[in-house]
Chains A and B, each alone.
Chain A
Amino acid sequence: MMEKSAHQYILLPPRGLSAGDAGPSTSGVSSFFTSLETVLRATAPARALSAEKIKTKMTVIDSIHENGAKLVEMSPESVSDLQAEQPGLRIVPVVYYYPAKAPRPMPSATPKAAAAALKISLTVVSKANRKPVAAAKVVAFTNFANRTGAQGTTNKKGIVSLALGSASKKVERLYVYSESGFWNVLEENIILKSGMKVEMLPIDLSFTDCLRHFYGSSAATAGQGVTVGVIDTGAGPHRDLTVTDGQNTVVGEDPTDWSDNGEGHGTHVAGIIAAHGTPPNGIGGIAPGVTLRSYRVFGKGAEGASNFSIAKAIDRAVSDGCDLINMSLGGGPRDEATHSAIADARAKGALVIVAAGNDGRQPVSFPAADSLSLAVSALGRQGTFPDGTTELGDVAPPFGKDKKNFIAAFSNMGPELVLTGPGVGIISTFPGDKYAVLDGTSMACPAVTGAAAKLLSTQPALLANPRDQTRSDTMAKVVLQAANTLGFPATLEGQGLIPI
């Protein structure tokens, strides 16, 4: 009997409705469908024999095709187990459609008169030498739940003015973010007054952050033989990174300009995977031995990446021979072009590893939610970031078997998650030969990619296989079956953390 929390899902081959549609390299998926068909249709002895071959607990309800699509019922926690058992399957939640009722017009909130307000001036300085920190973003929440408050950016003297309406104001949370070089500050329940100073702690590259706690330092050869494509804001140049090549797939921009667009996100992501520096003057990633390629999908000055640029980057990464494709991006509705590109990547032997999103325990965002993606949540650990830093705001229950471990409060959750990786307070490379601390499933995703690369590089026979669906399914199986639970529900950690 199924548990009360059982949900309905459609199991599909990588393409089409029948395993035969997906080409000759899906024999594992095909025999799995045949077993499910037997469970559904056969008489007792044959049914029992077939049921033994299916490890994941589920009930087969209906079948569209003898060798294909099945309607099953299982718990959301079992989805991750099934992905580990049959990595080539698409597992799609059953969706019910309802009449689209027109929304009723609602009065908008009465706009408040622009406040010719009193402002509070703060000075942000380095804790090391008391020098001003310019261009730091300061956000003061007077009511954190309602996200009410004021914000500003420090000038060259490190001064910021916050329009809080009085000379002194209680704030529930004060966040200070520097672009690079410092740990970001979080102060809670303080009275702000003009003239106050906020100190920022410079980054010490020898510090054991969350990434180094779980993964330590790697040999320069770790990941050798594996090619990784990073689809992001571009990567490098940075003294700790060697980016072999890449492409800019932003429509209208120079295709050869695959370096960072200035945001720094992609350079940070790339460093987590493949930086080859050594503390205290540099930083190392998890798999410095990989061949690293950069695919830029965010334009210069653009706030978004188009699904066309993303799908084109996936196609290009596959044709360039990438074994693993890292996508620390997502959001918005499911998109057929991106889905098809991911399906093609899997059919050509590559794995696509995607950040689950940072919406605070919301459903896993697309394309991480695509059944053929490997979706990653963000793991944190208390004690791996200094006191008074923004990472404190990311701590949330439930805690793992080791009570210091947690899944970040911002991390999305759901049955699509297959793995977790360190993503809270991560030190990595930043444009201009700098270093920055960032948080997010964006950081957890490359941690998983790096760990997967390190693991797969120990299996040259697998990497030498023809680049087809069987290869990517086997790679997924190796990676997922190596993972160990940290004691969280599967909807928060999937199969857990890849040990290296």
Chain B
Amino acid sequence: MLGLLMGRFILRFNGVGEKPAEDVQRIRLLPNATILDDSGRMILIEAPDAAITELVKLLPQWGVSQESFVPLPDPRPKLRKPAPH
């Protein structure tokens, strides 16, 4: 994988009904990619950024998002720096 910029992406089918089998097959055959989860209308995939960019051009009914994380909510005031001594 040297030289490939890898990322984790969510592919979500936005069309009507189940996600088409031929689309899923095309995703599964993506070189240098690993399917991490396949659920309902979505597939979580680790793949080179460039390959995903090219893939979604061929799958107009699919949306793509990079995997991201939201923190546990906490309204408590946080310390930013130690008190000067």
Inter-chain contacts of B76 with A (CB < 8 A): 139, 175, 177, 390
Inter-chain contacts of A147 with B (CB < 8 A): 77-81
Question: Nearest-CB distance from A233 to chain B (Å)?
Answer: 7
Question: Among the interface residues A146, A251, A393, which one has the most CB atoms of the partner chain B within 10 A?
Answer: A251
Tell me whether A307 and B72 are in contact in the complex, defined as CB-CB below 8 angstroms, given that A147-B79, A337-B10 are known contacts.
Answer: no
Tell me whether A149 and B82 are in contact in the complex, defined as CB-CB below 8 angstroms, given that A329-B73, A336-B64, A410-B75 are known contacts.
Answer: yes
Q: Say if the beta carbon of B23 comes within 8 Å of chain A.
A: no
B71, B80, B84: the one contacting A165 at CB < 8 Å is B84
Inter-chain contacts of B40 with A (CB < 8 A): 312, 315-316, 319
Q: Say if the beta carbon of A207 comes within 8 Å of chain B.
A: no
Q: Which residues of chain A (368-416) have a CB below 8 Å from chain B?
A: 390, 393-394, 408, 410
A336, A355, A442: the one contacting B65 at CB < 8 Å is A336
Q: When the two chains form their complex, are residues B75 and A308 in contact, meaning their CB atoms are under 8 A apart?
A: no
Inter-chain contacts of B84 with A (CB < 8 A): 112, 142, 148, 165
Chain A interface residue count, CB cutoff 8 Å, equals: 67
B36, B65, B83, B85: the one contacting A337 at CB < 8 Å is B65
The 8 A CB mask of A100-141 against B (1 = contact, 0 = none) is 000000000000100101000000000000000000000111
Q: When the two chains form their complex, are residues A344 and B79 in contact, meaning their CB atoms are under 8 A apart?
A: no
Interface of A (DSSP majority class): mixed
Report the Cα distance A278→B40, complex, angstroms: 40
Inter-chain contacts of B69 with A (CB < 8 A): 303-307, 332
Tell me whether A312 and B42 are in contact in the complex, defined as CB-CB below 8 angstroms, given that A146-B80, A148-B80 are known contacts.
Answer: yes
In the A-B complex, the 8 residue pairs with the closest CB atoms: A165-B85, A304-B69, A358-B75, A147-B80, A410-B75, A337-B65, A337-B10, A142-B83
Contact sample, A vs B, 18 pairs, CB 8 Å cutoff = A15-B14, A139-B76, A139-B79, A141-B79, A148-B80, A163-B82, A173-B77, A175-B77, A251-B44, A306-B68, A306-B69, A307-B67, A308-B37, A329-B72, A332-B69, A335-B65, A337-B10, A440-B73
